[in-house]
Amino acid sequence: MPEEVNDMPFSIPREEFMEPGHTACHGCGATLAMRYVLKALGKDTVVSVPASCWAVIPGAMPNRTLNVPMVYTPFAATGASITGLRVAMDILGKEDCNVVGFAGDGGTADIGLQSLSGAMERGHNVFYIMYDNEGYMNTGVQRSGSTPYGAETTTTPVRAERNFKHQQKKVVADLMMAQGVPYVATATVAYPEDLIRKIVNAKKIAGPKFIQILSPCPTGWYFPTEKTIEISRMAVQSGMFPLYEYSNGKLRVTKPSKTISIRDYVSVQDRFMHLDEEDVSNLQSAVDQRMKNLLDRERETSGA
């Protein structure tokens, strides 16, 4: 476990903004992501959600699961909708209201990337939360730009051609850092205090904030539903999903106290079961390279 997580000055807020009775799959990481984000932000929050698992999780009309207003938008419109919401709230004198886009990885890395990039570039005081379950899970586990190398999905069926996803994961948080978004962080549901602390830190910045939350998906990653937290933790320990915080031009990477290999990480998820030693070693090299890049960047920015 990352050391600073043990030194947290606060525990997880008790207040709940998510009611029981949602319709997510058992073991869904994305529900925890929403729950923690709302605990960190509190009642004065509006959430905009595009087509995604989270458009379905709250239940069919007239049911709802969240105790904050929820605006549903078409797939590509998250960034645009939080633009309109933010400006309208400011016009109405509700500058303190948190405006949050909460989109999946397909809605962020692929179809919503333009709208996201535009909203971040314009500098609105908004949160964009990408809950990353590494594929189009709501539509039945198709490949997205955020699906990692090696994963099998329904549109990258392995079969005789070994047609798993051969491209590396497009990491939107890295793109946002490159774009110069004032606050960028990664988090995952195995470390809720770290996650909440990042949302709280982000809130102090009166500009665009982007937080990518790895949200393991038992249905699409093919692992037992009780393993969500364990796999979320292993993603960090293996370096598959490094936790970092980029704020005021400085990058801080959280080093896990225990590290494991990519072999350990992929062996507990059937989406990777077809990988041979060479494939795993390809993935390990890419992960090592990315971690090195991040640490270099951390050194460069801390010296500044």
Helix extents (H) in 92-213: 113-122, 172-179, 192-203
**Residue 69 or 157 with smaller CB distance to another protein:** 69
∠ at Cα 167 (175, 119), nearest 5°?
25
In the complex, what is the shortest distance from the CB of residue 46 to another protein, in angstroms, rounded to a whole number?
6
**Which residues are 187's β-sheet partners?**
213
CB 183 within 8 A of CB 208: yes
Distance between CA atoms of residues 119 and 81, nearest Å: 9
In the complex, what is the shortest distance from the CB of residue 36 to another protein, in angstroms, rounded to a whole number?
18
In the complex, what is the shortest distance from the CB of residue 35 to another protein, in angstroms, rounded to a whole number?
15
Mask of contacts with another protein, 107-136, x by CB under 8 A? -------xx-xx--xx--------------
Residues 59-88 that bind another protein (CB under 8 A): 59-64, 66-74, 76-77, 79-85, 87-88
By CB under 8 A, is residue 97 in contact with another protein? yes
SS3 state at 282: helix
Distance between CA atoms of residues 284 and 72, nearest Å: 38
Distance between CA atoms of residues 228 and 186, nearest Å: 17
In the complex, what is the shortest distance from the CB of residue 91 to another protein, in angstroms, rounded to a whole number?
5
**Residue 28 or 85 with smaller CB distance to another protein:** 85
Q: Under the rule (CB under 8 A), what is the footprint of another protein?
A: 43-46, 48, 55-56, 58-64, 66-74, 76-77, 79-85, 87-92, 97, 114-115, 117-118, 121-122
